[in-house]
Amino acid sequence: MATPRIISLDELTDALRAGEVDHFWNVLTEEYFGGELIAGSRWVPLDRVGREAGARQLDHGTTIVVYCSGPSCPNSKDAGNKLATLGFTDVRVFAGGLETWKADGRGVEVLPKSKAA
């Protein structure tokens, strides 16, 4: 089983710029999701990560980056481990999450309430 790789803000930015990220997911659970997304990402709650990967029939070599609210949030690491257990070999965890992204002065997209629920 491949181990998810923890990436920094700079590594995430470089990967996004280079077009190396196939899937970019905010994995906060419904309870904690406030509608904020890093541009280009989708909301896939932690409890739906496996189903999402299966429903989309993702190739196990696809690059998936997951993140949550910040360094103290376990969801991104949990999602990365779940994906690795399912056989995905290029899983990257942006452990800094929204907190680090916004602290660097970067903006976020905010989903309308109807789509965030």
Q: pLDDT (tens digit, 9 = 90+) per residue, 31-86?
A: 999 999 999 999 999 999 999 999 999 999 999 999 999 999 999 999 999 999 99
Residue 115 lies inside a defined structural domain of this protein: no
Range of the domain at 62: 5-107
pLDDT at 57: 96
Residue 60 lies inside a defined structural domain of this protein: yes
The domain total for the chain is 1
Domain at 40, CATH number: 3.40.250.10
Residue 57 lies inside a defined structural domain of this protein: yes
Residue 59 lies inside a defined structural domain of this protein: yes
Q: pLDDT (tens digit, 9 = 90+) per residue, 67-80?
A: 999 999 999 999 99
Residue 116 lies inside a defined structural domain of this protein: no
Closest by CA position to 28, among listed 68, 81, 82, 73: 68
- Global pTM? 0.94
Residue 52 lies inside a defined structural domain of this protein: yes
What distance in Å separates the CA atoms of residue 59 and residue 105, rounded to the nearest whole number? 34
Q: Is the CB of residue 54 less than 8 Å from the CB of residue 73?
A: no
Instruction: Pick left, alpha or beta for residue 103 (phi over 0 → left; psi -120 to 50 → alpha; otherwise beta).
Output: alpha
Residue 56 lies inside a defined structural domain of this protein: yes
Residue 49 lies inside a defined structural domain of this protein: yes
